Structure formats: C-alpha cells, structure tokens
C-alpha cells in the first residue's frame, strides 16, 4: 500500500518538476531574447511630445510619416529600420544621419525639434559626443 502511495507521489512530483523546468527554460529564453534582440520600438517625438511609437520588427510594408511643423519632414519606416527621408530644414543633419536600426540609435532635427529614437541601449556605446 505504502509503496503505491509513494509511486503516485513520484508521478505527481515528476510532472510538477518537469513543468517547472519547462516553464523556467521558456521564461529564461524569452527574457534573454528581450534583452538582446526582441522587438525594436521606434519613438518619434516633436516638441518634447511623443507622436508615434512603431514596432519596427513588425513592419511589413514600407510606410512614410509626414511631420508638419515649422519645417516639413518625411520619415520612412521599413522592416527593422527607420530614417528621416526628407526635411526642408536648412542643415539636413537629420536626413544625413541616415538609417537607424540598432537599439539606442537616435536622429535629431534641432530646428524642427523632432527626433526618432530606437528604445533600449546599445551594447557597443552608451552615448556619443558631438
């Protein structure tokens, strides 16, 4: 009798332990993926206000976003990357910055107070002088 109860307990334990292992491994792998790769969120800000938030990894078709403020600007979004495509500001630093594709990448247009940033931190460098 007692042997039987133990066996039953074995089974239950085995199931619990297996489930625990599976859950923990899944959790760890999700956690790791979010840490290094994961979804890339681009945030567009004008005049210190967030105007759009895009998950770059889920972009399938290229799309253009118009910004009409002091200056007119066009932002181009493609799968996994984003950039200022056109701007009628004088220096065009924003356009010359080119594509942003890594976490922590930033493009700024100071005359128009606009910026695009990919959320998160770069592993290679924390911040760059100007």
Partner 1 sequence: MKRKFILLITVLVAILTSSCNKLGTTPPENTRVVPYESEDFAMGTVVMQRIYDDNGKKISKQVIDRIRKIEEGMTINKLGGQINKLNEFAGIDFVELDKDDIYILEKAKEYSEISNGAFDVTVGPLVKKWGVFSDNPSIPSMDEIHSLLGIVGFKDIKIDKPSSRAKLDKKGQVVDLGGIAKGFAGDEAIKIYKKHGVKSAFISIGGNIVLLGGKPDSTSWKVGVRDPRGPEGSYIAVINAKDKAIVSSGDYQRYFEKEGVRYHHIIDPRTGYPADSGLIGTTVVSELSIDADALSTAAFVLGLESGMDLIEKIEGVEAVFITDKKKVYITEGLSDQIQFEDENEYEYIEKR
Q: Which residue has the tokens 């910055």?
A: 97
Residue 118: how many CB atoms within 10 A of its CB? Answer: 22
Interface pick for partner 1 out of 10, 37, 55, 88 (rule CB under 8 A): 10
| Helix (H), strand (E) at residue 27 | helix 2-36
Which positions from 41 to 70 touch partner 1 by CB under 8 A, shown as an x/- string? ----x-xx----------------------
The dihedral of CA 116, 121, 125, 126: what is its sign? Answer: positive
Question: What does the binding site for partner 1 look like in residue numbers (CB under 8 A)?
Answer: 3, 6-7, 9-10, 13-14, 17, 20-21, 24-25, 28, 35, 45, 47-48, 90, 93, 96-98, 105-108, 110, 113, 115, 117, 119, 121, 124-130
């Amino acid at each position: 009798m007692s042997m039987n109860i133990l066996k039953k307990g074995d089974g239950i334990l085995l199931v619990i332990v297996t489930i625990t292992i599976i859950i923990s491994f899944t959790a760890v792998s999700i956690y790791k993926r979010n840490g290094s790769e994961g979804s890339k969120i681009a945030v567009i800000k004008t005049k210190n206000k967030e105007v759009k938030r895009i998950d770059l990894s889920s972009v399938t078709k290229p799309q253009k976003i118009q910004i009409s403020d002091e200056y007119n600007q066009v932002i181009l979004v493609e799968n996994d990357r984003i950039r200022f495509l056109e701007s009628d500001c004088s220096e065009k630093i924003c356009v010359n910055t080119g594509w942003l594709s890594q976490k922590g990448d930033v493009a700024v247009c100071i005359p128009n107070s606009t910026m695009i940033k990919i959320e998160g931190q770069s592993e290679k460098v924390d911040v760059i002088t100007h």
